Amino acid sequence: MDTVVAAPRALLGRTITGPAGVRISGGRIVEVVQGPPPEGAEVLTDGLLTPGLVDVQVNGAVGVDFAEVDPEGMAAVARALPQTGVTRFLPTLITAPVPVAVRQAHAVLAAAATLLPGAGAKPLGVHLEGPFLSPKRAGVHDPSLMVAPGPAELDLLLGDEVLRRALRMVTMAPERPGGMEAVRRLAAAGVLVAVGHSDATGEQTREAAEAGARMVTHLFNAQRPLGHREPGVPGVALVDDRFTLGLIADLAHVGPDVCRLVFNAAGGRVALVTDAVAAAGMPPGRYQLGGADVLLTEDGVPRSPEGTIAGSALTLDRAVRNIVSVGVGVADALASATIIPADVIGEPTLGRLEVGAVADLVWWDDELRPRKVWVDGEVVFDSTEVLKTGDVGLAAAGQ
């Protein structure tokens, strides 16, 4: 039976309009309804209806590190993420030897395969953030495990039939020996190549785009910086329309003024990401990221024991609110967490309210906090139920 969900305002494309709603059948949107809601509709009396949020860089959450995930852990993350408006996510694995990364990826995929319908947010495959990175821009990744992307290493990734189908994104430093050929080979295999943890010059960054790279991982972080003569990775990314710009908008990785600058320069190409680690949604303490210790203190920013920022405890709904707080319009902020990441990852039925799209929905209150979330047309989070049970989890972390 068809279901209609209607709201006084809705994000259609990259514009907020209303009243509007959607008719759902079989987990898909079969009609976009504008104007007064039809009889029998579920009418949301206030707030805003949008597509579900899509996060293409998630290392873990609620105590779970995807490098050591099992079915129970994957289920916990899938259950928690809708509290923050996320309906689809890309599990991310940081630098490890290629055979280890392959084993970890298989564990992620096996755990994802055990999720039951209605379990919550859905994984989209695997994102490998390494090991083809630059030791000069290591961040908290272990430089000793980084390697150049030679033919043998790529054969291990692309020759594994299961992984080849699920490998959605690889973050790499294209300036490494064999890097440009690796970009071409991965892109030809349908993998989204992102420039990240890279000491590439502006010229090398453009060359990577020519070879098929289409994203920059966490803009400004762990990459050759912007200079007024040598633009580095961010300078080229901000002006080259071929790149989608991943941005960790916790206002610690990138300051408020620079976040606003990014949107002023390239707002239509920004994909908000969390880069969340196991510490997300958890109290201060010691957690894991790729097998290494990460410390979460009262400031809410995970760090290595040496003090280097190690991913984030950010939630994607808070990233949206943060971007709005620096002066970006609500529609643009929401587009950066819905349609833009969906498009760059090659998912044209996600991140939008239109006929044929997957019925992933978020109902937001007037303060841009998720009140109710649907995945494939089924409710997976309802804030009123959370209030009854007291199970706040990531919802509290997103405050």
- The confidence score (pLDDT) of residue 105 equals 98
CATH number at residue 363: 2.30.40.10
Per the CB < 8 A criterion, the answer to whether 234 and 220 are in contact is yes
Identify the band that residue 292 occupies on the pLDDT scale cut at 50, 70 and 90: confident
For 316-344, the pLDDT digits (tens) are 999 999 999 999 999 999 999 999 999 99
- The confidence score (pLDDT) of residue 389 equals 44
Can you give the pTM of this predicted structure? 0.96
Estimate the crossing angle of helix 98-113 against helix 151-158, to 10 degrees.
Answer: 10
Sign of CA dihedral 43, 49, 51, 56: negative
Cα–Cα distance, 112 to 64 (Å, whole number)? 13
Query: Do 359 and 279 fall within a single domain?
Result: no
In this structure, is residue 147 part of a structural domain? Answer: yes
Question: Tell me, what DSSP letter sits at residue 70?
Answer: -
For 117-170, the pLDDT digits (tens) are 999 999 999 999 999 999 999 999 999 999 999 999 999 999 999 999 999 999
CATH number at residue 87: 3.20.20.140
Identify the band that residue 362 occupies on the pLDDT scale cut at 50, 70 and 90: very high
Scan for tokens 């199970």, then name that residue. 391
* DSSP per-residue codes, 165-188: HHEEEEEE-TTSTTHHHHHHHHHH
- The confidence score (pLDDT) of residue 140 equals 94
In this structure, is residue 349 part of a structural domain? Answer: no
Instruction: Answer whether residue 395 shows pLDDT above 80.
Output: no
For 56-70, the pLDDT digits (tens) are 999 999 999 999 999
Side-chain half-sphere CA neighbours of 140 within 13 A = 23
In this structure, is residue 350 part of a structural domain? Answer: no
Cα–Cα distance, 83 to 308 (Å, whole number)? 28
Instruction: Answer whether residue 1 shows pLDDT above 80.
Output: no
End residue of a domain, out of 304, 325, 344 = 344
In this structure, is residue 135 part of a structural domain? Answer: yes
- The confidence score (pLDDT) of residue 327 equals 98
Instruction: Answer whether residue 399 shows pLDDT above 90.
Output: no
Q: Which residues are annotated as a binding site for substrate?
A: 140, 221-222, 229, 253, 309-311
Angstrom distances, CA of residue 262 to CA of 82, 208, 224, 248, 249: 27, 21, 17, 12, 11
- The confidence score (pLDDT) of residue 190 equals 98
Query: Do 66 and 34 fall within a single domain?
Result: no
Q: Which residues are annotated as a binding site for Zn(2+)?
A: 129, 197, 218
Query: Do 99 and 241 fall within a single domain?
Result: yes
For 16-62, the pLDDT digits (tens) are 998 999 999 999 999 999 999 988 999 999 999 999 999 999 999 99
Percent of the chain's residues with pLDDT above 70: 96
End-to-end CA distance of the chain: 36
Q: Read off the pLDDT of each residue in 199-210 and give the average, rounded to a whole number.
A: 98
- The confidence score (pLDDT) of residue 387 equals 46
Query: Do 58 and 141 fall within a single domain?
Result: yes
Identify the band that residue 393 occupies on the pLDDT scale cut at 50, 70 and 90: low
Per the CB < 8 A criterion, the answer to whether 349 and 356 are in contact is yes
Per the CB < 8 A criterion, the answer to whether 83 and 52 are in contact is no
Instruction: Answer whether residue 299 shows pLDDT above 90.
Output: no
Query: Do 264 and 311 fall within a single domain?
Result: yes
Cα–Cα distance, 235 to 197 (Å, whole number)? 15
Q: Considering its fold, how many domains does the chain have in total?
A: 2
Which residues are annotated as catalytic? 275
- The confidence score (pLDDT) of residue 249 equals 98
- The confidence score (pLDDT) of residue 398 equals 53
Query: Do 162 and 261 fall within a single domain?
Result: yes
Query: Do 191 and 318 fall within a single domain?
Result: yes
- Name which of 192, 187, 259, 190 is nearest 221 in CA terms: 259
- The confidence score (pLDDT) of residue 6 equals 96
Query: Do 336 and 360 fall within a single domain?
Result: no
Instruction: Answer whether residue 391 shows pLDDT above 90.
Output: no
Domain that holds residue 324: 52-344
Query: Do 112 and 189 fall within a single domain?
Result: yes
For 67-100, the pLDDT digits (tens) are 999 999 999 999 999 999 999 999 999 999 999 9
Q: Which residues are annotated as a binding site?
A: 129, 140, 197, 218, 221-222, 229, 253, 309-311
Scan for tokens 């039809």, then name that residue. 38
Residue 101 tokens read as 């990364």
Query: Do 393 and 332 fall within a single domain?
Result: no
